Structure 1
């Protein structure tokens, strides 16, 4: 990092200077990233997200005509939560690139703003000038949606009857009115103009619906169009909005690279998943030869030796597959409550760009081993199945009195919930042919239904005032502490091959950890007989590893 530039509002520039954000490039082509990004372009009810995480909340709309769909609610919630000026700290999204997801949310919002700008013009021309007629039609549609919301066929039929009655009333007004002159013409046009505006709005909505659905389909098919966010590129020195987006994207990247994670009790380490297994090697430190002393060494010496050996995991004596290149990092684990509503990242002279500096990591490893405070863990992480499975094995080294303890714990973060992998269903129906009635044909239906056009047109003028729209139509509240990846993760143990990968990784990692630790002990004149015996015992136990709830203690 190129230092911190103090900017307005107390924020800091974590980027190496002015730059254009890279959109849709690089490592964003992963299944987890693209599945989450596709939610920004989706239609359908926002309540579908509750199936992926029941702690997410969807506030009830005051008027169902203004409620958002899934893509609108998800894009706005993610953009506000991850780029907002008053946002809280975020949890790292391992196996996913959150910046790519946020960029797609920004791109989806930009597309919808372009659509809403055109719909707003239609509403002004055909709505404001003929407001009484528009209010009558909107009232009819609102009544229909309210009645249909009860999931009662009779109520739905009654709502349809209301719209038919309005149509009949409009026809009567057009044919015969008790007024003459200007008011007669105005009353006739007042009821017909909203219908003409609806036809124009339908064409606009149909065109943008095809664009949004093509992006949704493209992301889930492994390709798609990259997100374009020109609003994140400052066009002038005083472009505060674009500069704010650029800085917040840089802060998001810095948080993603932070070496501080949070342990939330039975929830495990946030972002890494719950702890499913634990293996402990703890024996007394005794000199190798009587009358001699142990050469002084520290916990960091053992951790560093283990780190060097874990980087060699991808090597194998046989010409076969094996491990991909793992990520080996030193982590600072901070404890938070199981029901914590937020987390706070450390700051001060020992922290730079949300990451604890290396000399402070060494101090924590050597000194903070008992009592309150953060702890040091050495982690080896495998991102598998195109980001769908994240395996993390953490190593903790402690020395209390004459006892050296080396603990290896396994964490697994499962795939993104299946709700994010549903592709857009084609709008068509199968009917019998007129002449050859024994044969069938498919008829393409409009992508946008009549009620959806009315909803989008009614929301369009209010999209320039998001708080008002949230008040009238409700909004999505994301689960906290929030991280794009872990809040939508499913359990990995339901997938046979994913479960096998998690269990298989434990044995070689444990043996490498023990071999590296024993080498350090021998070099420092420590008797390794008991350590060897315990290591062999653990090596046998780990071969029968089974996933459990290692963080759930029986009190």
Structure 2
């Protein structure tokens, strides 16, 4: 028995992985390995919320929070529907999140062993050190908010060091307990040194993967936990099925129109062109030969398939993706999307016969609508240009509408490479000269944070409660959530504007050809097409869905 999303016997055809999507995919995947502050993500999208930590010692960094949030949101058993990520392979990003989590779990397993050895045997000393670092972190937070608490953090550590020296020199007891209290505060320092070496080795590995993905030379993610070795490994089997579901949802032909936000995953509508004229018979004919909207759409589809071919050998369009879409209306501020269900839907996609019926009959009143879309994925997936075509016939008026949507590059946060840990200082003798000094890859505070979090990584809800977590914006999609506007990049803006004119002309030519073959007087349509062809050459991006241009 199957739920419709599992693999079928025989050769399998990948559902995703179009050419030119590697840049944006690897940029987003690099976030899983980053060690920067989590608050940077909030600056990219204000809808992303970070739960404040109850104990700052357990707070996650960007990579830890991003990996866990994406894994739960996209593979969780109770997850909501996802928005398609055009220009990105979401399964690859999720696989890197799983791989990053596995690398951290391997590190945390070793740190947990250290904490079990030093933490349980010398628990009072470990608690004193953790309390000192927690208090120091809290005072640093107060300082960042403008309070004068900066010097107190150094005093806290100085008191802890003085207490360590006092116990080592003058222990309060005799015999065995005298020796125990001598090393009570020193043993955690030895454990810290050992933990630092573990953390540095892990940080080098994670940063190498981060740098490789940003540079485009990163290796693929390895997730052996998603490959069941026997029928009893239900966890691996469920993970494998979740990845298959993710690919099926990415390949869905259903998209959602969220008002001024445009089509989720495709970007807001920046331009719209309409050709609407009356259907009248050609001179000498009593009436036109009846035809349907689907006949016009099919002709437009065939014409757009030839758009990459031109009379001159000057490059031109790359091979586009041409698909029939079912567009579902939804509100601008909705927290979730609901995909259509029923006998006409299979693996998140509406079947062809229902799409044809929708194109012919569902043009006015309630219900979903049919659109024919031509999509260009450019700049290694950082620019997604989509032009949507819809054909309606109401009374004697045939209307052909073309709308332009553009999704810009992923935010620059995801394309930054790891910076070297170093600082520039003055030379001790020649003070007018400077030199660059390398800093430790992992400082003391980071080692303490990772060691304190390690035992709790086996209990993620507890760790989220104490250290806070990242709440992703809804409706969530990997691509549009972190996308920037394409109009800030001159050449990306040019590509979006240039694509509209030839597509519009191809659509009009195909529609007029169908009408001419069926005895329609096309003179009005031809004149209107020429007017639009002139207007589109001078069009500038504007907020078409806001109706304020």
- Measured against the shorter chain, the TM-score band is over 0.9
| Offset of residue 439 of structure 1 | 5.8
What are the Cα deviations for residues 168-191 of structure 1, in whole angstroms up to 9, with x where unaligned?
111011111231112212222211
Whether the 8 Å contact between 1:28 and 1:96 is mirrored in structure 2 is no
What are the Cα deviations for residues 109-139 of structure 1, in whole angstroms up to 9, with x where unaligned?
0000000000000000011111111110000
Within 5 Å, give how 1:44-443 maps onto structure 2. 44-150=36-142, 151=144, 154-431=148-425, 440-443=434-437
| Offset of residue 282 of structure 1 | 0.3
Whether the 8 Å contact between 1:29 and 1:222 is mirrored in structure 2 is no
CA RMSD, Structure 1 to Structure 2 (Å)? 2.0
Q: Distance in 2 between matches of 1:243 and 1:525?
A: 59
Q: Distance in 1 between matches of 2:519 and 2:19?
A: 46
Q: Distance in 2 between matches of 1:396 and 1:267?
A: 19
Q: Distance in 2 between matches of 1:511 and 1:12?
A: 40
What are the Cα deviations for residues 283-304 of structure 1, in whole angstroms up to 9, with x where unaligned?
0000113452211111000000
Q: Distance in 2 between matches of 1:504 and 1:389?
A: 13
Gaps of 5+ in 1: none
What are the Cα deviations for residues 154-181 of structure 1, in whole angstroms up to 9, with x where unaligned?
5232112111111111101111123111
Q: Distance in 2 between matches of 1:549 and 1:25?
A: 31
Normalised to the residue count of structure 2, the TM-score between the two structures is 0.96
| Offset of residue 253 of structure 1 | 0.5
Q: What is aligned with 1:553?
A: 547
| Offset of residue 249 of structure 1 | 0.5
Whether the 8 Å contact between 2:423 and 2:438 is mirrored in structure 1 is yes
Whether the 8 Å contact between 1:429 and 1:442 is mirrored in structure 2 is yes
Q: Distance in 2 between matches of 1:143 and 1:446?
A: 23
Normalised to the residue count of structure 1, the TM-score between the two structures is 0.95
Within 5 Å, give how 1:416-495 maps onto structure 2. 416-431=410-425, 440-495=434-489
| Offset of residue 324 of structure 1 | 0.6
Question: Which stretch has the larger CA shift, 136-145 or 173-182?
Answer: 173-182
Asked whether 1:499 is paired with 2:489, we answer: no
What are the Cα deviations for residues 320-348 of structure 1, in whole angstroms up to 9, with x where unaligned?
11111111110000011111100111122
Q: What SS does the corresponding residue of 1:68 show, helix, strand or coil? A: coil
Q: What SS does the corresponding residue of 1:551 show, helix, strand or coil? A: helix
| Offset of residue 53 of structure 1 | 0.4
Q: What SS does the corresponding residue of 2:501 show, helix, strand or coil? A: helix
Whether the 8 Å contact between 1:393 and 1:506 is mirrored in structure 2 is yes
| Offset of residue 17 of structure 1 | 5.1
Q: Distance in 1 between matches of 2:395 and 2:360?
A: 13
Whether the 8 Å contact between 1:25 and 1:226 is mirrored in structure 2 is no
Q: What SS does the corresponding residue of 2:281 show, helix, strand or coil? A: coil
| Offset of residue 430 of structure 1 | 3.4
What are the Cα deviations for residues 433-455 of structure 1, in whole angstroms up to 9, with x where unaligned?
56777765433221111000000
Whether the 8 Å contact between 2:276 and 2:397 is mirrored in structure 1 is yes
Q: What SS does the corresponding residue of 1:376 show, helix, strand or coil? A: strand
Q: What SS does the corresponding residue of 1:149 show, helix, strand or coil? A: helix
Q: What is aligned with 1:522?
A: 516
